[in-house]
Amino acid sequence: MICSIKQSVSSLQALTRSDFYQRKSPVKSLSLPSVVGGTSPVKPLHLAPVRGLGFGLIEDLRVRRPLIRCEAYEADRSEPVESDVVKGRSEAAKKVKIGLYFATWWALNVVFNIYNKKVLNAFPYPWLTSTLSLATGSLMMLISWATRIAETPKTDFAFWKTLFPVAVAHTIGHVAATVSMSKVAVSFTHIIKSGEPAFSVLVSRFLLGESFPTSVYFSLIPIIGGCALAAVTELNFNMIGFMGAMISNLAFVFRNIFSKRGMKGKSVSGMNYYACLSIMSLLILTPFAIAVEGPQMWAAGWQNAVSQIGPHFVWWVAAQSVFYHLYNQVSYMSLDEISPLTFSIGNTMKRISVIVSSIIIFHTPVQPINALGAAIAILGTFLYSQAKQ
């Protein structure tokens, strides 16, 4: 047995020296004989062909050639064998990370909606409220870049050019949703916004010429029907609030379309991408906010709100602005880690958490038929996310 092993090692060294010095084709595989009673052969090995291959031979030391690491693989595998324990830990860590993303995303979104509604109840100026939330997020990221807390994105003119239509759609969707929440209950706005998949399919089908499976079209029936049922039975229905949510749906659909088309191949992280989007949206929104509402209306409304609410109102404004940026930032960061299907399911669950929490906190009166319509619409959104994939 010892003699057999020595012969195999000698053959291995001879083949290696021949390939190393004569630069012939690399050794592809080598089978060693049995070393356990002649009945259990050792698995064939695959020697990784790398330039300057060496095994620490005496000849290599004499010519002072650098030793290169050589990896051996099983012949039926193309990459190193990874421990099942390591794989299990890696998968578990990934699941924990995604779970933290989702929990943070939902929690930040719920907090934002609560403070946003409180601010709008006392200060009914949605254009300024929307501007402040974008300004706060932009300032936070500029400070993060200046202090090197976050990596500064590498952008050029082409990047900002492709970002512009995305920013326009994002601005419209953001303002429209805020206008909606200033007129109706938070729960009603999010019920209507759960109909966004219907807008996505209709725009993609009739404007972009895309086709979808039959199951996708069928999933739109409960979405549209549930939203209609919830709207008809809403106790505090307001047309401006309803149209604001509908316009927001349409704007965010175009934002997604422009984003997919314009950002292919761009090496900007999700966090920095949303930061750049906030900055450009702020530049677009500010002049319109001044034209629609104006500093005089803001000053009078601010004074009235502070006199009624007290110093807490300032905290409400700061909280809704900060949490708006944070929840959007986390949602964009999560896109770097999860699939679109997982993101769609998470977005559906997010709306459920917002609707339920807002009803509890603001004591929103809900009729059984209204709750049924909301449930049907959200179920349709979930079915859509399944059928779309």
The mean pLDDT of 94-114, rounded to a whole number, is 84
Residue with tokens 């996708």: 216
Question: Is 90 exceeded by the pLDDT of residue 245?
Answer: yes
- Single-letter amino acid code for the residue at 325: H
Question: Is 60 exceeded by the pLDDT of residue 80?
Answer: no
The mean pLDDT of 10-27, rounded to a whole number, is 48
Res. 112 pLDDT band, cuts 50 70 90: very high
Q: For the chain, what is the mean pLDDT?
A: 79
Question: CA separation (Å) from 78 to 26, 48, 55, 74, 75?
Answer: 16, 10, 21, 8, 8
pLDDT digits (tens, 9 = 90+) for 159-198: 899 899 999 999 999 999 999 999 999 999 999 988 888 8
The closest of 202, 246, 252, 214 to 228, measured between CA atoms, is: 246
Classify residue 298 as exposed, middle or buried by CB count within 10 Å of its CB (0-12, 13-18, 19+).
middle
The pLDDT value recorded for residue 296 is 93
Q: What gap in Å lies between CA 251 and CA 236, rounded to an integer?
A: 24
Question: Is 50 exceeded by the pLDDT of residue 20?
Answer: no
pTM listed for this prediction: 0.73
The pLDDT value recorded for residue 302 is 95
